[in-house]
Amino acid sequence: MGGVRLAFTVTVLTLTLHTHAAPHSKAVRSEPPQHTAGDVGPLPPEVLAALQRAKVPSENFHVMVVDTHANSTPRLSHQAQVRVNPASLMKLATTIAALDTLGPAFVWRTPVYVEGPVRDGVLQGNVYVRGSGDPRLGVERLWLLMRRIQGLGIQKIQGDIVLDRSAFDVPPRDAASFDGEPLRPYNAAPDALLLNFKSLLIQLVPDRAANVARIQVEPPLAGVQFPANVPLSNGDCNDYRSSLRADWTDPTRIRFTGSYPAVCGEKIWPIAYAAPQLFAPRAVAGMWQQLGGQLSGQVREGSVPTNLQAIFSVESASLAETIRDINKYSNNVMAQQVFLTLSQQQRGVGSYDASREVMQRWWRERVGGDVPTFDNGSGLSRDERISAQALARLLQVAWASPTMPELMSSLPMTGLDGTMKRSKAQASAHLKTGSLRDVAGIAGFVDTASGKRLVVVAVLHHANANAARPALDAIIDWASQQP
């Protein structure tokens, strides 16, 4: 299958999201910290110093540090009752609700149906593939699905391959609508049949003898032309993507009009396909052709006839494994797939409106208190709102849940992996991160020197939020030192 495919998940998921959210900040002022009802204790000096260096007022820092058991008195609470945009911290609500309602062993199944007889390797009819919302139906498993069809003795389909995407009812969305970056994989829209995140992996391998970089693209897309190579250059590797001068204007003919710096070595560039609505049909047709299969008809959308029974199905990783990718690497489209699955499992068809209702009801029954404003469950939203206090309460509920170990193992560890790998905090902690252009936050569990664990939630909401990230590290270390 090649190193390109195996590297897909980590390469795509580790893209850091810094989007162009409209500022919700206040002017920087020099007066003492502002307090609200419910505040407990002063902000630590190290935190205040970090905020001052970044020119972020203390009222734009929302913090709750509390014991893991419910109804405990906060050790620190500052602006914790103010509802803010949590960015990707909202993935905690989605994944905790999914663990609680679907169970950690839940899997998505993508069934395949065959219509008509098979004679001498030829199917006299159609093949149907029904999506169920699998968040990680990548190149390897698409290859396996096609191979299993051939394992039925089918080499030629005298009909169509029909893709049934009716499990989700999601309105069309402009991939550029959120931040003007339609080719970033994090902007991929959810889909009942989400193949490879609707994204390509472009592998560039320098061949110095030929003075070119060889190009390999996964998955193969039927009807789409890619250059076989691009000239090498002697420049530095600071911005090799710009050096390539990619032209995505024609989705059927991708061009690179620039060059590739030889010093870069081998690189893998994940990029969302410019015509996302055509990605699945082109990827299915391309993989079938690559495996030597023949198709007299076309790959098209449609519905599985009610009288057909599935011949086999391709099974996803478990929910417990899936949320590790969602939380450790903050994958937006995977989180939205899980969010939509919550209503799909209850109502047969998943939609944003239905999943919002499911989440609101679940929150009232399991968490209580102020119900957050849910949008798409990923935090890639202008509208989602939750307070630090509500996030802390959610984590206390998760701590008391039988699925606490699965959640804990999905959270990045400070300085070790996922989106917390670059953290400068010295403490041991499992924390989800959230990041937009004017939002930076962490939420999860911090270990203290005495062997206790504390719930820590901290959200910066200001135009300079990302410059104030040392305040997040400081609050983590402060919490770890609590008796």
What pLDDT digit, counting tens, does each position of 290-345 carry? 999 999 999 999 999 999 999 999 999 999 999 999 999 999 999 999 999 999 99
pLDDT band at 438 (very low <50, low <70, confident <90, very high): very high
419 with 16: CB under 8 angstroms?
A: yes
Q: Does the fold of domain 108-316 match that of domain 14-105+318-480?
A: no
Q: What's the average model confidence in pLDDT over 14-32?
A: 38
How far apart CA 10 and CA 351 sit, in angstroms, is 28
pTM of the model: 0.91
Cα distances (angstroms) measured from residue 422 to each of 350, 433, 473: 36, 12, 11
Least confident of 42-56, 59-73, 177-191, 198-212: 177-191
Q: Tokens for 185?
A: 């994989």
Q: What is the pLDDT of residue 230?
A: 97
Q: Which amino acid would we find at residue 393?
A: R
pLDDT band at 282 (very low <50, low <70, confident <90, very high): very high
Q: Tokens for 446?
A: 């911090």
Q: What is the pLDDT of residue 185?
A: 87
Q: Which amino acid would we find at residue 350?
A: G
pLDDT(364) > 90 = yes
How far apart CA 101 and CA 106 sit, in angstroms, is 10
On the question of a cis peptide bond just before residue 111, with omega within 30 degrees of 0, the verdict is no
Q: From the centroid of its chain, how far is CA 201?
A: 16
91 closest CA partner among 455, 473, 359: 359
CATH code for 14-105+318-480?
3.40.710.10
57 with 91: CB under 8 angstroms?
A: no
Q: Tokens for 310?
A: 């599935």
pLDDT(111) > 90 = yes
CATH architecture, domain 108-316: 3-Layer(bba) Sandwich (3.50)
E strands in 277-356: 294-295, 299-301, 312-315
The full set of domain ranges for the chain reads 14-105+318-480, 108-316
Q: What's the average model confidence in pLDDT over 53-59?
A: 97
Q: What is the pLDDT of residue 178?
A: 77
Q: Which residues contact 189 (CB under 8 A, 6 or more apart)?
A: 170, 173, 175, 198, 276, 333, 336
Cα distances (angstroms) measured from residue 342 to each of 107, 109, 129, 376, 384: 13, 15, 22, 12, 18
How far apart CA 109 and CA 19 sit, in angstroms, is 33
